[in-house]
Structure 1
Amino acid sequence: MTPPRRTRRRPQPPPAPQPPRSPATEAAEAAEAAGTKGPGDNPERLYSVAGSGDGARAELDLVTLIVARSAPPVSATPEQAAVLRLCTAPLSVAELSAYLRLPFSTMTVLLTELITAELVQARAPIVRQALPDRSLLEAVMHGLQRL
C-alpha cells in the first residue's frame, strides 16, 4: 500500500472588488430572491409611466413595428428615452413591452404619447403573400430546366 501524496497549499489571491451597485439593482435582486413582484409591477408606477393623458390611444397591436425618428430629447422620461434608444431598428410593440417589462396597455399609452410628439413612427407589419407569384414560379421552373 502506498501512502497518499500530499500537495502544498498555495495562498489564493484575494477576490477582485465588485463595482458599486445602485439601490434599484439591489431592490430588483432582493425582489427576485424573495419571489415578490418587481418595481415595474406596482400599479402606481405604471400610472406615472402612462401619464395622465386624455385616454386616447393609437391603434396598435402586438406586431405593429415602431421606429424612432430622432434621438431622445432632454425632456423625455426614462421610459420614453429607453423606447427611442431601442427603436433605432424596427421593433414590435410586444418586443418593446418585454424589454421594458411593461404591460401592453401601458406600452400603448407610452407609444401614443411618442407618436403624437412625432418622435416615433408606427408601421404595419410586413405581410407575406399566402401564394407566391405565378411568374416567379415559372422563372424558377425554367431556370431549373436549363440546368
Structure 2
Amino acid sequence: MPTPQDGPWLDDAAGRLIRPYTVIDGRTRPTATLDLLSMVLATGAAAPPHLGPEHLQALDLCERPTSVAEIAAYLKLPAVVTKVLLSDLLDCGAITTHAPSYDDQPTDLSLLEAVLDGLRRRL
C-alpha cells in the first residue's frame, strides 16, 4: 500500500498546518453514501485538475480495493473529511465503491480474538 507523502501542509513538530475541513471547503456531507467499510477502487480515469492534493493522495491509495477507514487512517484525516474527498472522486468517475463482501472473506475467529485481547489490554 503506498503511503501518502508529507507535503508542505504537514510539520513534524506542529502536525497538520491546514485544518482538515479546509481541504474540503468546509463541507460536512459527502454527495455519496459511504460507510467506513465501503471498499474503494480507482477506475483509471484521471482526476480533474481542480481537485486538490488530498484528492490525489486518496486516489493513489485506491489502486487496490481499500476501505474508507483505511484511507482516512493513511491520510490522517477525520472519516467525514475522507468521505467528502472520496465522494468528489466518485462524482468525477475516478473511483468506484462497493459494500464489503463478507461471503468472499470469512472472518477469522483467531484474528477477532487477538483484536479483542489487544483492546482489553489497552482499556
Query: For the superposition of Structure 1 and Structure 2, which TM-score range results when normalised by the shorter chain?
Result: 0.5 to 0.7
Contact 1:71 1:85 in 2 (8 A): no
Residue 39 of structure 1 corresponds to which residue in structure 2? 16
Residue 62 of structure 2 corresponds to which residue in structure 1? 87
Which one has a larger percent strand, Structure 1 or Structure 2?
2
Which one has a larger percent helix, Structure 1 or Structure 2?
1
Question: TM-score if structure 1 supplies the norm length?
Answer: 0.56
Query: 1:6-26: CA deviations, max 9, x gaps?
Result: xxxxxxxxxxxxxxxx9948x
Bigger-Rg structure (1/2) = 1
The CA RMSD measured in Å over matched residues stands at: 2.9
Q: Distance in 2 between matches of 1:80 and 1:113?
A: 8
Residue 125 of structure 1 corresponds to which residue in structure 2? 100
Task: Count residues in correspondence.
Answer: 99
Out of 18, 24, 33, the position equivalent to 1:50 is 24
Structure 1: 5+ residue runs without aligned partners?
A: 1-21, 32-37, 132-147
| Stretch deviating more after TM superposition (62-71 or 100-109) | 62-71
Out of 78, 89, 100, the position equivalent to 1:114 is 89
Paired residue secondary structure (1:126): coil
Structure 2: 5+ residue runs without aligned partners?
A: 1-5, 107-123
Q: Distance in 1 between matches of 2:95 and 2:7?
A: 31
Letter in 1 for 2:98: R
Greater relative CO, 1 or 2 (CA 8 Å, sep 6+): 2
